[in-house]
């Protein structure tokens, strides 16, 4: 007879980290890497140092490591960082467990990336503004910030729920996804069950909350923080984005201090 242990307050990615790639990371990675390569060439992004913030299991770090000698992987989740360390153990990457709102790299870098809607986990405008300011402060002058964000376009006037099921060998999960357009937010309840080799079943519930931000508002925040918006694309197709684009890929560049001061006095 098997017994079950229910974890009702697991932090996001606490136990999910070991299944993340198989559940969603591997499917999204090619799209994210394609967008980066297109933007790297289109906007002339050359870098000798970089940081991937919200690096997760480290797959995108392997992409960045082909171009630079100094590379940082930053994430708030210790469990995700542990997965990333295993993935890139033969590469020179320094890992940091930090909140994006208090980002402090050992040195300024030429490039900071933040992909797969990581910024949407900052659920207040104040928190997102603070994170973008910290990202700007950790960039070298002329350095680039490449990221994607969910705007919620097309979902803002409706509420709906989506049920998803995953089965991964000895693990299965039931996800309840709530899209709350009037509140510009989403909530994902992940109920996971894992059967160990001894027949014992472990269950845990993780709740993931995200906030959507309008594209115009994001661009205004970037400019106020001293980041010039170079390009805005649909993250799914890489076509030019608009206010009607749900998932957006952006490229911004840190302006020299003199340029920022001149802009603020105009």
Question: Considering its fold, how many domains does the chain have in total?
Answer: 2
- Structure confidence at residue 40 (pLDDT): 98
Residues 132 and 242 in one domain: yes
Give per-residue pLDDT as tens, 207-226: 999 999 999 999 999 999 99
Phi, psi of 226 (to 5 degrees): 85, 30
Q: For residue 171, give both structure tokens.
A: 């693990």
Which has the higher per-residue pLDDT, 99 or 259? 99
Residues 129 and 175 in one domain: no
Question: How many Å apart are CA 228 and CA 251, to the nearest integer?
Answer: 9
Residues 102 and 53 in one domain: yes
Could you give the 3-state DSSP secondary structure of residue 168?
strand
Residues 87 and 126 in one domain: yes
Give per-residue pLDDT as tens, 32-61: 999 999 999 999 999 999 999 999 999 999
- Structure confidence at residue 9 (pLDDT): 54
Give per-residue pLDDT as tens, 171-216: 889 999 999 999 999 999 999 888 888 888 888 899 999 999 999 9
Read off the CATH number of the domain in which 196 is found. Answer: 2.20.25.110
Domain that holds residue 48: 32-153+213-265
Residue 14 has pLDDT above 90, yes or no: no
Residues 168 and 42 in one domain: no
- Indicate whether 22 belongs to any domain: no
Q: For residue 32, give both structure tokens.
A: 């994210």
- Structure confidence at residue 65 (pLDDT): 94
Residues 236 and 221 in one domain: yes
Question: How many Å apart are CA 222 and CA 147, to the nearest integer?
Answer: 12
Question: How many Å apart are CA 141 and CA 109, to the nearest integer?
Answer: 9
Q: For residue 176, give both structure tokens.
A: 């309840």
Question: pTM to 2 decimals?
Answer: 0.92
Question: How many Å apart are CA 91 and CA 99, to the nearest integer?
Answer: 24
Question: How many Å apart are CA 245 and CA 151, to the nearest integer?
Answer: 7
Burial of 36 (0-12, 13-18, 19+ CB in 10 A): buried
Residues 40 and 89 in one domain: yes
> What is the pLDDT confidence band of residue 3, given thresholds at 50, 70 and 90?
low
Sheet containing 171-180, strands listed edge to edge, beginning at the edge strand earlier in sequence = 4-10, 201-211, 185-195, 171-180, 159-168
Mean pLDDT of the chain: 91
Which has the higher per-residue pLDDT, 181 or 92? 181
User: Do 145 and 119 contact (CB within 8 A), yes or no?
Assistant: no
Name the percent of the chain lying above pLDDT 90.
75
Question: How many Å apart are CA 100 and CA 115, to the nearest integer?
Answer: 13
| Nearest CA-CA partner of 97 in 63, 56, 137 | 56
Q: For residue 204, give both structure tokens.
A: 């845990």
Which has the higher per-residue pLDDT, 35 or 11? 35
> What is the pLDDT confidence band of residue 1, given thresholds at 50, 70 and 90?
very low
Residue 264 has pLDDT above 70, yes or no: no
Mean pLDDT of 238-246: 97
> What is the pLDDT confidence band of residue 258, given thresholds at 50, 70 and 90?
low
Mean pLDDT of 77-87: 94
Radius of gyration of the chain (CA): 19
Spatial CB neighbours of 198, under 8 Å, sequence gap ≥ 6: none
């Amino acid at each position: 007879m098997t017994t079950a242990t229910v974890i009702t307050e697991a932090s996001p990615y606490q136990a999910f980290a070991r299944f993340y790639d198989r559940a969603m990371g591997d499917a999204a990675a090619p799209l994210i890497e394609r967008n980066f390569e297109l933007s790297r060439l289109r906007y002339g992004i050359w870098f000798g140092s970089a940081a991937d913030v919200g690096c997760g299991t480290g797959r995108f770090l392997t992409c960045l490591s082909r171009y630079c000698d100094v590379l940082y992987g930053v994430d708030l989740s210790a469990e995700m960082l542990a997965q990333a360390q295993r993935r890139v153990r033969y590469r020179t990457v320094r890992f940091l467990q930090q909140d994006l709102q208090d980002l402090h790299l050992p040195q300024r870098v030429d490039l900071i990336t933040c992909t797969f809607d990581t910024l949407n986990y900052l659920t207040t405008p104040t928190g997102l503004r603070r994170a973008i300011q910290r990202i700007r402060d950790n960039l070298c002058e002329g350095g680039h910030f490449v990221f994607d964000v969910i705007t919620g376009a097309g979902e803002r006037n409706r509420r709906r729920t989506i049920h998803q099921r995953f089965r991964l060998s000895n693990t299965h999960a039931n996800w309840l996804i709530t899209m709350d357009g009037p509140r510009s937010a989403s909530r994902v309840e992940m109920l996971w069950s894992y059967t160990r080799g001894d027949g014992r079943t472990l269950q845990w519930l993780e709740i993931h909350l995200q906030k959507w931000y309008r594209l115009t508002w994001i661009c205004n925040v970037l400019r106020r923080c001293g980041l010039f918006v170079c390009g805005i694309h649909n993250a799914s197709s890489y076509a030019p984005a608009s206010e009607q684009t749900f998932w957006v890929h952006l490229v911004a560049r840190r302006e020299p201090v003199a340029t920022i001061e001149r802009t603020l006095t105009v």
